[in-house]
Amino acid sequence: MSEHSERTSEGQLRRALSALRHDPLALTGSVVLALLVVVGVAGSWLAPSGINEVDVDRMLQPPSWSHPFGTDELGRDVLSRVMVAARVSLQVGLVSVGIALAVGVTLGLFAGYYRGWLDNVLMRCMDVLFAFPVLLLAVAIVAVLGPGLLTATVAIGVVYTPIFARVTRAGVLSVREQVFVRAAVSIGASDLRIMRRHVLPNIAAPLIVQTSLSLAFAILSEAALSFLGLGVQPPAPAWGRMLYDGRGFVTEAWWLGFFPGAAIFLTVLAFNLVGDALRDVLDPRQLTVSEARRSAT
C-alpha cells in the first residue's frame, strides 16, 4: 500500500517535470524563476553598486550604460536595489506559503479524515477567514502587529491558509473512501500513519498546483503591503516600496516606477505559467489562475 503511494507521488513528479520541459510557456516560466532564485540568493554580490550608496550628484538619472535601470531620488542605483529586493519577495512568498501550506494541510487533513464536529468547527473557521478580502485582512493583521518583514510574512500566511485547508479537505474526502485506505484501517494502521503514508501522497497533485499559484499571489500581496508601507521597512529595498517611493516622480523619472513593477510582473507571471502547466497535467479539474485569483482577491 505504501508502494502504491510512492508510485503515485513519483508518477506525479515525473509528469510535472515532463510538463515543465515540454510546455514552452512553462519552460520560460521555469527559466525566469531559476534566474530569480540566483538573483535572490546572490543579489548582494551580483549587484553593480551598493543598495544604499547615496550620491546626490547623480540623482534621478535616466537609464544608461553605467546605471541600466537609472538612479533614484537619492542617487542610488535602481538595478542594484531591484536585484537585492528579489530576495525579499522570494523569502516572503516562500515562507508565507510554507506557513499556509503547513497549517492549511494539517487542518484540512484532520477535518476531512475525521469529519463530524471537528470538520464543522475547522471549516467554519476557514469560512470566517474567507469572508475577508485577502489584502484587507493582511493589512489589518500587519496594522495591529506592527509593520515589518516578519509580520507581513505571517499575515500573508494566515490569509492563504483557508485555501489550502479547503483543497486538502476536498482531496481527503475522496481518498479516504478508497479501497487502499480502508485496507490500511482494517490491518490496524494508526490514523496518523494512514494520513501521512496513504492519504497525503494521493492528494499531492492539487497541493503542488495550489502552492505554485499561491506563491504568485503571495508575492503580489507582499508587494501591495510594501507599497502601503507595511512590509519591509526602509532603507531595505522591496519592489512594492520602491514603486510607492517612485510614484511621486512618475512623470519626471518613469524608470523609478517601471522597473520594480516589471520585476513583480515577471515573477508573478512566471509562477502563474508554471502553475497553469502543472494544473493542466496534475489536476485539470482544479481552478485556473483566474479562478484562483477570484478567491484570492
* Stretch near other proteins under the rule CB under 8 A, chosen from 41-49, 64-72, 163-171, 215-223: 215-223
Site for other proteins in 115-174 (CB under 8 A): 124-125, 127-129, 131-137, 139-146
Distance, C-alpha 108 to centroid of its chain? 19
Q: Is 230 in the site for other proteins (CB under 8 A)?
A: yes
Q: Reduced to 3 states, what is the DSSP secondary structure of residue 161?
A: helix
Cβ 219 to other proteins, closest distance in Å? Answer: 9
Distance, C-alpha 254 to centroid of its chain? 28
Cβ 112 to other proteins, closest distance in Å? Answer: 19
In the block, residue with C-alpha cell 535602481: 78
Cβ 136 to other proteins, closest distance in Å? Answer: 5
Cα distance between residue 264 and residue 261, in whole Å: 5
Considering only the C-alpha atoms of the chain, give the largest distance between any 2 of them, rounded to a whole number of Å.
77
Specify whether the CB–CB gap between 60 and 72 falls below 8 A: yes
Beta carbon nearer to other proteins, 184 or 256: 256
Cα distance between residue 235 and residue 76, in whole Å: 11
Q: Is 31 in the site for other proteins (CB under 8 A)?
A: no
Specify whether the CB–CB gap between 238 and 187 falls below 8 A: no
Beta carbon nearer to other proteins, 30 or 202: 30
Cβ 44 to other proteins, closest distance in Å? Answer: 24
Q: How is residue 44 written as a grid cell?
A: 548582494
- Which one, of 169, 202, 281, lies nearest residue 9 by Cα? 202
Site for other proteins in 259-288 (CB under 8 A): 260-262, 264-265, 268-269, 272-273, 276, 288
Q: Which residues bind other proteins (CB under 8 A)?
A: 124-125, 127-129, 131-137, 139-146, 216, 220, 223-224, 227-230, 240, 243, 246-247, 250-251, 254, 257-258, 260-262, 264-265, 268-269, 272-273, 276, 288-291, 293-294, 297
